Structure 1
Amino acid sequence: MLTNLWYVAEWSKAVKDKPVRAKLLGQNFVLFRDKSGKVNCLSDVCIHRGGSLSKGFTTKRDCVACPYHGWEFDAEGKVQFIPSRGEGAPIPERARIDAYPTEERYGMIWVFLGDLPEEERYPIPEFPEYEDKANWRAVDVEYSWTGSVDRVVENGIDIAHTSFVHPGFGYQEMADKNEILKVDRGEYWGSSDNVLYPPQLEGNFGLMKLFRADKAATYVSPAFYLPGHCVRLHIKVNSWMEMIIFDANTPVDETTTRSFAVQVRNFFKWPMFDNGAKKRTRKVFGEDGDIVAELSPNYLPESLEHEVSVEQDKFMSAWRMIRRKHIEEKGWKIDTKAMKPFEGEKVFTIPSPSRRTNPHFKWALDTVPLVPPTRRSAATQAEDSSAAEPA
């Protein structure tokens, strides 16, 4: 699990007038709206006696109050009122918890979990079709995986598995005909263009069969983004019908992933077709989920030493290389093993931007330990070069 990235904490529609708990990167957070409607995010722990702020309530001070003793925390994580001390009483300097930047996009609440200043953060991935209501119809779907987020993202960009896992998208006998046409990658993203030969379309009261012949060439472009651990799958059904599945994949903990997915389509844009679109999207997630839950190991291997890859895996290799770079060179990976001895005895928190701007402040909570960055070995660099070679 990586820090210093934007992640989706919850659907916008789920956070109204009461605090809401969200679990990300193995830690609990509280989401609450202030009077202006802005969503705020804090660590979900009161540094007085450990109360859960998400079980509390919002107040006239635009704060979230702990249900245990009523301490009120503002959007910056600072305590503004201690009921037992009365109005106007001084507040201890250390009465403060971590607060995290938030944005609302695509019907989702995004939270930046890290201490990087704003100018150094990778951006939230673009999804312009979501705002183009005139040309695209959107539906949202949620899915929970038993599997690490690294595996979930890799599964989402893997075209080769469609012939075996998704009967609606591929034939086993056509596996060697599916082709990767192009792969691009940047510092925190990757994309590829592919051609597949899937079965005839189904659904929408039988109308879909009219729009693509059996085994007709179909162009599919998956992309991944480190921020949000997002996957964008653009499917050109035919010359005029397109759909896009955009999913933000949030690591709840090491072995659980929560996907916030939006599917947009530029055809059959009437509401009567929405339930069918949701049903088919959930079916695809379910087919993948059954496979990912049984992968061994559950985590993504850090090298290819114990796996065998072929040229059709080069796009997944791009995902692995970018992820590994941010572990080995930037040191953004949470060291969950170092936290195990303290389980149930100590509360950790993700470092927030305030920690960097206030380096001498004595915080009550310790931050999660991180795996120290390392210089990549010659063997690792050689492996990267080999994996990046075109088929």
Structure 2
Amino acid sequence: MLDGLADEGFADLWTPVAMSKEVGKAPYGLTLGGARIVLFRDQQGRVSALHDQCPHRGVKLSLGKVGKDGCLECPFHGWRFASDGACTHIPLNPMPEEKRRRYAATTFPVRERGGLLWVYTRPGAEAPDEPSVPSVMEQPGVHVWHYAETWNAHWTRAMENMLDSPHLPFVHRRTIGGPLARRMKPDSKMEMEVHPTPTGFRTTWTLDGGAPAEAYLEWLRPNGMSLNVPIPNRLMRLFMWCVPVDADHTRMMLVSTRDFLKVQPLAALLDRFNKRILREDQAVVESSYPVESPPVSEERSVATDRATLAFRRWYLERKKRGSQEPTAVTEAPTLAS
């Protein structure tokens, strides 16, 4: 069950997997790094996560239902599982509780924060820490908008795209990249800086020796990005999580936060604009080959790739080491001249 997560370099990590609003009274099934997971709520609205596979005959628990006792019932033979995975009832087979313990379902640690549901990718174990949730997503007075869609792409290609500022004046020249495109000249030079942070790194850039751009990107290890949008006396930050579904699909989870334009219909217009920006990236990312980000030596890179190469080296090192915790990013990558 862990093979897919380990193959994606994604074992033993916190990641958002769904929006809170997606999980209601019915169980919600999803795939994370090839592992099937079911989310469900008890009668108090508390969310739980189990391996979406009944230990009896392997069917999807997400096809079942949640009873009044908050237990998830398998659709095949009616086995019932509590939020902690304990098997509470096996129809037609009365037995004492101590014997039923061997029929438990596998659990995943799960948290509900910032309008998202976060899963720790080590089944059957306690998480050693808590998810790193950006505080602005839980800040009073801030409008928070959530959106998700699935791309036909490996999560590493999507993640590198989200950390890549040099593509802005080309892919996004009609939207957020317009100002940078208008400033560029045929001989313009962009200088990139990558600075380690407790949660990953921050990347900034300058054009033709000018002042650093007020906008900046942050990598939120392992699969998140934050974009600070500079607006005088206003707060606006965009977040993206590239959640691996399997080797060929990634769920793109977008969160927009701001302290202005919180009332409809203006709020809806800005939120649709954010979706437009996301769609501008989609076709380009889905065309990448090989599908997964390859070793650094297999593609031709330049100085403006510092941020994406820092992520790639982290990913490849983690994948090589399997589920062991990799070393943190402590410095920006160096590039051969």
TM-score by length of 1: 0.73
Determine if contact 2:296/2:313 at 8 Å carries over to the other structure.
no
Confirm or deny that 1:111 pairs with 2:130. no
Alignment partners' CA distance in 2, 1:177 and 1:142: 36
2:131 is the alignment partner of 1:124: yes
Q: Counterpart in 1 of 2:103?
A: 95
Partner residue in 2 for 1:25: 33
Residue 22 of structure 2 is aligned to residue 14 of structure 1:
yes
Equivalent residue for 2:244, pick from 229, 248, 251? 251
Shift of 1:149: 0.6
Say if 1:113 and 1:220 are closer, same or farther in 2 by CA, change over 3 A.
same
The count of aligned residue pairs is 319
The letter for the 2-side match of 1:317 is L
Verify the 8 A CA contact 2:160 2:308 in the aligned structure 1.
yes
Question: Which digits, 9 at most, give the CA deviation of each residue in 1:230-256, with x for residues without a partner?
Answer: 11111114x334421112221111111
- Aligned-residue identity in percent: 26
Aligned to 1:309: 301
1:320-368 CA-to-partner distances (Å, cap 9, x unmatched) read 1222232234x13xxxxxxxxxxxxxxxxxxxxxxxxxxxxxxxxxxxx
CA distance in 1, matches of 2:118, 2:128: 17
User: 1:297 aligns to what?
Assistant: 290
- Stretch moving more, 290-299 or 140-149: 140-149
Q: In structure 2, do the counterparts of structure 1 residues 118 and 188 end up closer, same or farther at CA, with 3 Å as the change threshold?
A: farther
Q: 1:172 to 1:164 in 2, by over 3 A?
A: farther
Looking at structure 2, the residues matched to 143 and 65 of structure 1 have their Cα atoms a distance apart, in angstroms, of: 29
Per-residue CA deviations over 1:135-183 (Å, capped at 9, x if unaligned) read x322222232111111111100100001110022132771764744532
Once residues 60 and 253 of structure 1 are traced to their aligned partners in structure 2, the CA distance between those partners, rounded to angstroms, is: 34
- The runs of 5 or more residues in structure 1 that have no matched partner are 198-215, 333-372, 377-383
Give distance in 1, aligned partners of 2:312 and 2:170: 23
1:42 partnered with 2:35 = no
Rounded to whole Å, the distance in 2 between the matches of 1:316 and 1:390 is 15
Q: Which of 184, 187, 195 matches 1:174?
A: 184
Q: Does 1:226 align with 2:221?
A: yes
- Find the aligned partners of 1:172 and 1:142 in 2 and give their Cα distance: 31
Q: Distance in 2 between matches of 1:47 and 1:96?
A: 7
**2:292 aligned with 1:284:** no
**Greater Cα shift, 34-43 or 290-299:** 34-43
Q: Which one is further off, 281-290 or 8-17?
A: 8-17
SS at match of 2:276: helix
What is the distance in 2 between the residues matched to 1:131 and 1:257? 25
Native 8 Å contact 1:226 1:323 kept in 2: no
Give, in whole Å, the separation in 2 of the partners of 1:178 and 1:74.
Answer: 59
Q: Which SS does the other structure have where 2:214 is aligned?
A: strand
1:80 to 85, 88, 92: 88
In the alignment, which residue of structure 2 is the partner of 1:71?
A: 79
Match runs of 1:41-60 below 5 Å? 41-60=49-68
In the superposition, relative to structure 1, how do residues 34 and 385 fare at CA in structure 2: closer, same or farther (>3 Å)?
A: closer
Q: Is the 2:296–2:312 Cα contact (8 Å) retained in structure 1?
A: no
Report the RMSD for the aligned CA atoms in angstroms: 3.0
Could you tell me how far 1:92 is from its partner in structure 2? 4.5
- Alignment-derived partner of residue 4 in structure 2: none
1:185 is matched with which residue: 196, 199, 209?
196
AA in 2 matched with 1:164? F
> 1:260-303: CA deviations, max 9, x gaps?
211112333333321111211111111101100101111001x2
Q: Give the superposition deviation at 1:114.
A: 1.3
SS state at 1:260 partner: strand
- How far apart, in 1, do the equivalents of 2:68 and 2:331 lie? 58
Does the CA contact (< 8 Å) of 2:307 and 2:332 recur in 1?
no
1:262 pairs with one of 242, 251, 255: 255
Change (3 A) 1:196 1:286: farther
With over 3 angstroms needed to count, the CA separation of the structure-2 counterparts of 1:308 and 1:386, relative to structure 1, is farther
Q: Residues 195 and 270 (structure 1 numbering): CA distance in 2 closer, same or farther, change over 3 Å?
A: farther
SS for the counterpart of 2:298 is: coil
The TM-score, its normalising length taken from structure 2, stands at 0.84
Q: 1:306 to 1:40 in 2, by over 3 A?
A: same
| Contact 1:15/1:32, CA 8 A, preserved across alignment | yes
Whether the 8 Å CA contact 1:179–1:194 is kept in 2: the answer is yes
Counterpart-to-counterpart distance in 2, 1:155 and 1:173: 22
Deviation, 1:87, is 7.3
